[in-house]
């Protein structure tokens, strides 16, 4: 299989990190697919409630591609950092939360100098920012959980086929 890297010496090692079994390429492909599916999943209720015209179903494909591109820009470097330095069971969930926070900072936070006056206003920190940042962080953590399950399934499949 394309995602298996070498022979395993001991099949019964518990809590072995995914990076020792799966290549970075397979983890990156899984991350891109999870990001695309998550972006498309946000639009499923709107498409279903619109009573299914063909043009509205095309938006799911467009959102999949947009999610894939955003995940390539933010998620792949973050995946490298997480695989390199975080070594605990929920590392991809924490990575997903960081992804959501970075996404919120890039898309919604006042990062340009002409918007910095908003940083000193109390309504921004009390009303605007907490809900939107928390929504992004929670959604990122949920995508991190889905990614953790996908990686667990890939590791399980690779260990079953490796003998």
CB 36 within 8 A of CB 68: yes
Cα separation of 22 and 143, whole Å? 19
Domain membership of residue 7 (yes or no) is no
Mean pLDDT across the chain, nearest whole number?
82
Q: What is the pLDDT of residue 18?
A: 60
Mean pLDDT, residues 104-113 taken together: 80
Domain membership of residue 160 (yes or no) is no
Inform me whether the pLDDT recorded for 4 exceeds 90: no
SS3 90: coil
Give residues with Cβ within 8 angstroms of 98, minimum separation 6.
Answer: 78, 82, 140
What's the pLDDT tens digit per position in 122-136?
A: 777 788 788 888 999
Tell me the residue range of the domain where 121 lies. 19-151
Domain membership of residue 51 (yes or no) is yes
Q: Retrieve residue 70's tokens.
A: 């955003």
CB 3 within 8 A of CB 31: no
Helix 129-162 × helix 91-107 angle, to 10°: 140
């Amino acid at each position: 299989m394309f995602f298996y890297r070498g022979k395993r010496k001991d099949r019964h090692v518990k809590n072995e990190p995914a990076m020792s079994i799966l290549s970075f390429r397979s983890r990156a492909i899984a991350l891109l697919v999870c990001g695309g599916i998550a972006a498309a999943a946000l639009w499923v209720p709107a498409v279903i409630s619109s009573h299914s015209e063909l043009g509205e179903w095309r938006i799911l494909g467009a959102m999949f591609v947009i999610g894939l591109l955003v995940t390539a820009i933010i998620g792949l470097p973050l995946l490298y950092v997480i695989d390199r330095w975080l070594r605990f069971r929920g590392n991809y969930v924490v990575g997903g939360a960081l992804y959501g926070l970075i996404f919120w900072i890039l898309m919604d936070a006042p990062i340009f100098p002409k918007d910095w006056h908003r940083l000193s206003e109390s309504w921004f920190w009390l009303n605007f920012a907490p809900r939107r940042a928390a929504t992004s962080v929670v959604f990122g953590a949920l995508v991190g959980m889905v990614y953790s399950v996908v990686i667990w399934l890939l590791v399980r499949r690779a260990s079953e086929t490796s003998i």
